[in-house]
Structures are given as C-alpha cells and as structure tokens.
Structure 1
Amino acid sequence: MVDDSGLRALREAARLSPDNLPLRRHLAGLLLDKGYLAEAESEYRAALLLAPRDPGITAGLAEAFARQGAYGAALSALEPFLAEPGYPPRMGVIAARALLGEGDVAQAGFRYHEAVMRAPQAADPELAARLAAPAAAAAAAPAAAAAAAAPRAPQPVEGPAEPYEATDDRRSGVTFADVAGMEGVKEALRVKLLLPVRQPELFAAFGKRAGGGVLLYGPPGGGKTHLARAAAGELGASFVSVGLSDVLDMYVGQSERNLHNIFDAARRSRPCLLFFDEVDALAARRSDMRQAHNRQIVNQFLAELDGVDDRANEGVLVLAATNAPWYIDVAFRRPGRFDHLVFVPPPDLAARAAILRILCRDKPLAEMDFDAVAKATADYVGADLKGLVERAVEDKLRESIAAGRPVPLTTRDLLALTTSQRPSSVREWLATARNYVMHANDSGAWDELLPWVNRTW
C-alpha cells in the first residue's frame, strides 16, 4: 500500500488518464525509486501496453522484477533487447543482477563488464563487489578444488591463462551448396580465403600467402554466420567461432590474454578459420572509449591480426561479422587486417526462392510455388524466411496430429503467414546505413551500399 500522498495523487491522475504515457512512465519510476516494487511493476506493465518496444519502460519493469527476486521474469523481459547489438547499458547491468541472482556468475560478469565498457556511468559498485567475491573466493581455494568447482572462472594470477582449445574435430558440416544465392559474396570469400589455401603455388608466384581477414557486414539475420560456417566447410578447415564471452573478462589484462590464447590455438591448428561474430563489440573505435583498458583490448586485437612476423598468421583465416561496421576502429581496415569488406545484402527474389527450397527440402510438401512465396516476402532476410517456415510447420504439425498422418505443407500455408509476419530489420538497418553513406563516406568505404540506400520504400 502506497503511503505517500504525492504518489497517491499521481496514481489517481493516471487512473483518470490511462493513456497518458509520460505520466505513467514518471509514476512508475517514482514508485521504483521509493521501493514500491509491486506497484511499480503494475505501472510499468500498463505503460508497456501503450509502448510495447520502449527500452526505458522494459528496463524499469525488468528492474522491478529483479528487485523482487523474479530473476527469470527480468531476463525474459530483457531478452529481445539483449539479442541485438547496441542495447542500452542499463539493461546489461540489470541482466547482470538477475543472472547473479540465478547463480550464473560468469555470464553476469560478462554482461556487467560489457555494459560498463560502453557506459562507465552505468557502473554499480555494489554489484561489482558481489561479482568479484566468488572469483576471489575461488582464487583463495586450492587450485584443484577451484578447478573442480568452477573450471571456467577467471583466475587473477600472474602466469598465463589456460590455453584456448581449438581441436580438429571442430569441423563445419555446411558448405556453399547450403547457402542460397549470394554468389558475389561467396566468390569474394573464395578468392580471399579459400583459393590461397587450395592453390598456394599459384598465389605464391604473386607473393600472396594463405591468411588474412574479411569483414562481413549487413542487416541482422542476413546469413553472415551461416556463410562463415560454409566457408570453413568448403575449406575443410578447423572452425572456431569466438563469442564475446570467450574474450571479455572482468579482470584488467585478462581479456587481452584471452585474445592471444585464441589466436595462438588457431596457429597451432592451421589451416583454421577464426570467426568473430558481433566484432564491433571487440573492435570499437578507440576514440569513443573512455577507459584505457578497453582501448588495450582493441590494441591487442590489432597486434594479433598483424602477428609477430609476416608469416605468423599464415594459414589462419580470420572472418568477422557485424551489423554496424561504421562503429569499428578504422585501423582494422588497414591492409593485412580486415582489408576486405564484403556487404551481405538482403536476398533478392531468386535467392529467397532458393532459401525457401533449402528450408523446406526435408519436410512433407505438396506441389510448391516457391517463386510466389518469394514475391510475397520482399525485404525478408534468411532469418525471417526461416521463422516463416517454422511457423507454417508448427501449424501443420497440429493438423497432422489431429488427422493422424503427415499433412503436407502447401504454398497457401506460407502465403497466409506473410500477411501477419513483417520483415524484422532490413528497412531500419538501411535507414541507419543511409546516414553514413550520405554524410560520412569521404573515403568511399560505403559506396557498395549506394544502390540499396537509394531505393524508394
């Protein structure tokens, strides 16, 4: 029960004006600040009905959940935002608190470190102390007991960290045959990454060696990770996918050591394809960073790409993907690093039809007109098409259970779903890209995007 007369007056005003979003947002924030958590949750829920994708309201609701001990509900509310790059740092701190409440110290530490790296003002000293306590306890325990209790916990020791493993059984079973369309992208990857390994004598005649880096960029869900796995499968090389949690660490200096160990393991397993997804989180512009140790991570990454000599990374193919290439430090585009930028465009009509054929090839089908579905799915990326097929399959499963036999998927099933499912990200991404192409393209780095951003929507 709220015993504050001012808050009671605001609640009455909100009751009389239920569609007043600023009022509800303000009231919810005051309730949260004063510790009326259940009432704050109720107001945030009401505000969220008025603005379903508002990050500030979602963060407030998640904080109300977390402070009431409903950690799973907090993480569920944050999940759609945390899955996208550039989410508000406050959400990362709230997620860290919820993850710590569920006992996932390592993931909580990663979320907290990543959030504070982007916004130092979001730091929470009390939460940072709680995150450091388990690691300090593990460091004080005997080494064998610490390893048994938390084998992946970072240890603040002077010696080298445990080597990153890149075993030869990390092979990709995907090849370019499993990638529909994107012929230009596949050809660029063949020339830059695959042919130097397959025909070393020919490339050596021109002074070229196997190795180097390619940066794939484009809208989310466009198949960049799938392309990386296919490139490794074409080559028959070890494939090591490096996530942020493999690199970032709460201890100063440990992230740089992790990066070195990853590259060292790749050099021992050559030919090896290293894939860095969401690389903008590790290679952001140093001019945007306020803390020196964050800049050191970028410096270490650049040093590893260069190697200690001109043959250090021979046979190590580095592939990276990002949705936001304009946030990456320009030093990464220097020759010998990620000097080859490859735009992964949204699939065209023929590519969408080919993607649909691949997605449906192992399912019971009636006679299908994939071209008709492709025409109805303009601006869909591969992830959107996969979601469309999965929803249609779920509907067919319910029909098949009722009928007692497999009911084949039809063109009409897919077309019916296109009326309710919209493209997830292409238009928003191209709107952002247009700003950089038109106003920050003196070097010509984004000329490849011109035909896309000039399209009429």
Structure 2
Amino acid sequence: MEDPVIDALARAVAAAPADAELRLHLATVLLDRGHTERALAEASTVLAADPGNARAREMLARILQTPAAPEATAPVSAASDSQARIPTTSGTGFDWSAAEAELDHIAQPMFVGDGAPAFDEHDVQRPTVTLSDVGGMREVKERLESAFLAPLRNPELRALYGKSLRGGLLMYGPPGCGKTFLARAVAGELGAAFVSVGLSDILGQFMGDSERNVRELFRLARRQAPTVLFIDEIDAIGQRRSLARQSGMRGVVVSLLEELDGLGNDNEGVFVLAATNQPWDVDPALRRPGRLDRTLLVLPPDAEARQAILRHHLAGRPVEGVDLASLAAGTEGFSGADLAYVCELASENALLESSRSGVPRLIGMSDLRQSVAQITPSTGPWLESARNVVRFGEDDGTFAQLREYLRQSGRR
C-alpha cells in the first residue's frame, strides 16, 4: 500500500497490537479512503478482544452500510490474520454467510446460543421433607415459624393483623450447617415448588446475560407459584456494589433488587429464601424492608441435632454398640458436614481393617471416636471471623442473634 499515512498507522498498530483506540483510528482512515475490507478486519479484531466496545460496534455498523468497492492495491500479506478479505455479493450488498465463514477465527458471532431460557420447569423440585425431618434446632424452627410459616398458613389472621408477605428471609451462619436443607424443608412444609440457584446458575458469559438470568428465574418462580425460591451464596450474587470489581456484578444486584421489589410484576406466592456464610458482604440494599428483611442465624447443630445427623449417616452401615448421646456430647461445634465426615472416616477405617484381615467387621465406637479425634470443627474459623465483625464492624442490628450466641459461648 502506497499511502504513507496508512503505512505509518499500520506500523504503529503492529508495534502496539493491544491498543484498541489506535487500531480503530486505523480502521477509520482505511474506511474513509475506500479500503472497506481492511477496515472491517481491524474493527473485528477489536471486537474479538472486547465485545462490548461501543466505538468498534459503531464502526462495524458504518462499514456494513458502506457498499464494497474493489481495491486497486496489492494483496495483503498473509502474515496478518486480521487482514482477511471479505467476499461480497454482486450488486446487492454484504454477503453475510461468506463474512461469517471468513471472520470465524477473528470475532465472536453477533448472536449466540439457541435462545433457550436459562431456567425452565426442569429446575423445579417438589420436596417431601418437612421441618419434622430436621433434628433438633428448636430455636431455628421457632424463628421460621414466627417470621415466615405462620403468616403463610393463616391468611385470615394475616389479613386481621395486617401482616404483609412482602420480603424474604436471609439465613446466615457457618458453612455445612444445613441452610439448604432447611430451605427445602420449608418448601415441603408449604407444599410448594422449590427452585434452588447459586452463583454459577446466574452468571452468564456475555454482557447482559446475568441480568436476563435473574429476570427469567423470577418468571419461572411466578409461573410455578407457590414457590420457595432459594438463592445460595447470596453474598457472591448480591455482593456490596462498593466491593464489586466488575460493573456487570453491579447490574446483577440492581436486577435482583428490581425483582424482589416486584416492579411490573406480582410476586404473590413467591417466597424468597437466601443463604450466605458472609452476611456482612451482602449489599445493604438487599436487606431493606420488603426485600430480605428478616434474618435467621443457623448455628452449628445442637446435641439433639447432632444425634439425628449421626443416626442418618450411620443408617444402612454395619454398626454395633454405638452410643449416639456420647458421640453428640463429644462433637460440640461440629457442623453437619463435619459429622458426615466422621461417619465416613469410621467406615473407611473398618473397611481397611476388614480388607487386611479378610474378615468383615462392624463399625464400633472406637472407630467413631478415632474419627472425631482426627477432625477439627470447621466452624471455628467462621466464628472467629464473625466475632471480629461483631466487635469492630458496623452493626445495624442484623447480627443481634450472633452477638448473643458469641456472648453465651464465651467468644466475646
């Protein structure tokens, strides 16, 4: 090419290939001087690296509106992948099928996916467990009953006392303590559909996908009402916008707020439960009245609950002489996941010895006590972090239950 301006810009782009503004300037000059195909290649290269680049999209639209003309220049060197030649149809404008074939290795297609919704009826469950299947945890059940279940079961009393069903419930506490199981039990208690989602279900690959997923999630919940919509890892999905490193995450929080408020829609029959291990990272706007305005602290299981969990995980295994009360007394502070691991280790120990001796034996107390001695309760680090937040962080009263528990347990 004998144009000194274009040659100089091309050399500059070759020296700084990641400079999008410089490459788009080259594309503008190329288009102004009639080199449509090269301009298209340069703009497509920018879009391949940054699909959301508004200037590159404008450039692409301008190029596609420009009739292609033959270029009286020497063939472009094969050394540059970005300089692909785009065929055009004779007399009618741009040949889309040929362009897609030529640019497949340069830019992502403008439209992706098969148009299927992110959520559909296959994501709906019908739990059969109820709160009666939850061992122990009396205070948690009472809190669920007073704050959530009683108003739902008694519409006449709800109307008499003017009790609103707006808002949801935020469950928080150490990991592995049964928040998901409780949410499932609430759905079973109400005879409602159950939809459970986490961060990986919400986040999309392309700009705007995550916000659309939030809207589709609530549409599904409304169609299946009554529905218990359970959002796990709400601290990741609805994290404080001041902490969000990407603007896309702020958009997800805004979409979640709009759906919780029911803007343009009726959330009647949609009961939102959310769970988090880090409630202090949840955006404060999500905890305002009418949203996730009620909180429930789900602590490590009490002695009665620990017995129920151990019984559940030992059921169906060959055991003998197991004193559940003694084991429960020796596992204070263990989460439900920790107790499941105790049973797994005990089974593993018995299996290994049976394999060595060639004679199967039953799992006994010695195996279980040995397993307990090998495990450090996983709730300890969380409680230490919580103690620091309660002592030194801002508290608007959300963590009153946690503060009282720490005081009673001697951690404050």
Q: What range is the shorter-chain TM-score in?
A: 0.5 to 0.7
- Selected match of 2:168 from 202, 205, 213: 213
Cα displacement (A) at 1:380: 0.7
Q: Does 1:448 align with 2:407?
A: no
Higher deviation after alignment, 370-379 or 159-168:
159-168
Q: Which amino acid aligns with 1:341?
A: T
Are 2:167 and 2:291, in contact at CA under 8 Å, matched by a contact in 1?
yes
CA distance in 2, matches of 1:129, 1:437: 44
Q: Name the counterpart of 2:157.
A: 202
Are 1:193 and 1:211, in contact at CA under 8 Å, matched by a contact in 2?
no
User: Structure 1 257/297 Cα, relative in aligned 2: closer, same or farther at 3 Å?
Assistant: same
Q: Does 1:379 align with 2:317?
A: no
Percent of paired sites with the same residue:
46
Cα displacement (A) at 1:174: 2.5
- Selected match of 1:253 from 208, 211, 235: 208
Unmatched tracts of structure 2, length 5 or more: 1-44, 53-95, 98-108
User: Structure 1 306/347 Cα, relative in aligned 2: closer, same or farther at 3 Å?
Assistant: same
Higher deviation after alignment, 322-331 or 367-376:
367-376
Q: Name the counterpart of 2:237.
A: 282
* TM-score where L is the length of structure 1: 0.61
Are 2:124 and 2:195, in contact at CA under 8 Å, matched by a contact in 1?
no
> What pairs with 1:42-441 in structure 2 (closer than 5 Å)?
129=49, 156=111, 162=117, 164-167=119-122, 170-208=125-163, 210=165, 212-308=167-263, 312-399=266-353, 407-424=361-378, 426-441=379-394
CA distance in 2, matches of 1:234, 1:407: 40
Q: Which has the higher helix share?
A: 1
User: Structure 1 389/410 Cα, relative in aligned 2: closer, same or farther at 3 Å?
Assistant: same
User: Structure 1 423/155 Cα, relative in aligned 2: closer, same or farther at 3 Å?
Assistant: farther
Q: Name the counterpart of 1:52.
A: none
Q: Which amino acid aligns with 2:260?
A: L
Unmatched tracts of structure 1, length 5 or more: 1-124, 133-139, 142-153
CA distance in 1, matches of 2:391, 2:361: 51
Q: Which amino acid aligns with 1:307?
A: G
CA distance in 2, matches of 1:450, 1:400: 48
Instruction: Please list the CA deviations of residues 277-326 of structure 1 after superposition, one character each: whole Å capped at 9, or x if unmatched.
Output: 111011111122344332111111011001026x7111111111100000
- Larger-gyration structure (1/2): 2
Cα displacement (A) at 1:396: 3.0
Are 2:319 and 2:364, in contact at CA under 8 Å, matched by a contact in 1?
yes
Instruction: Please list the CA deviations of residues 398-428 of structure 1 after superposition, one character each: whole Å capped at 9, or x if unmatched.
Output: 455677786332222211111211112x121
* TM-score where L is the length of structure 2: 0.68
Are 1:176 and 1:186, in contact at CA under 8 Å, matched by a contact in 2?
yes
Cα displacement (A) at 1:456: 4.1
CA distance in 2, matches of 1:427, 1:157: 46
Are 1:229 and 1:239, in contact at CA under 8 Å, matched by a contact in 2?
yes
Cα displacement (A) at 1:256: 0.6
CA distance in 2, matches of 1:358, 1:441: 40
Are 1:306 and 1:337, in contact at CA under 8 Å, matched by a contact in 2?
yes
Are 2:123 and 2:195, in contact at CA under 8 Å, matched by a contact in 1?
no
Cα displacement (A) at 1:210: 4.7
Q: Which amino acid aligns with 1:263?
A: F
CA distance in 2, matches of 1:200, 1:156: 47
Are 1:431 and 1:453, in contact at CA under 8 Å, matched by a contact in 2?
no
Q: Which amino acid aligns with 1:369?
A: D
CA distance in 2, matches of 1:437, 1:131: 43
User: Structure 1 251/169 Cα, relative in aligned 2: closer, same or farther at 3 Å?
Assistant: closer
What's the RMSD between the two structures over aligned residues?
Answer: 3.2
User: Structure 1 169/216 Cα, relative in aligned 2: closer, same or farther at 3 Å?
Assistant: closer
Secondary structure of 2:121's aligned partner: coil
Q: Which amino acid aligns with 1:333?
A: R
CA distance in 2, matches of 1:159, 1:225: 32
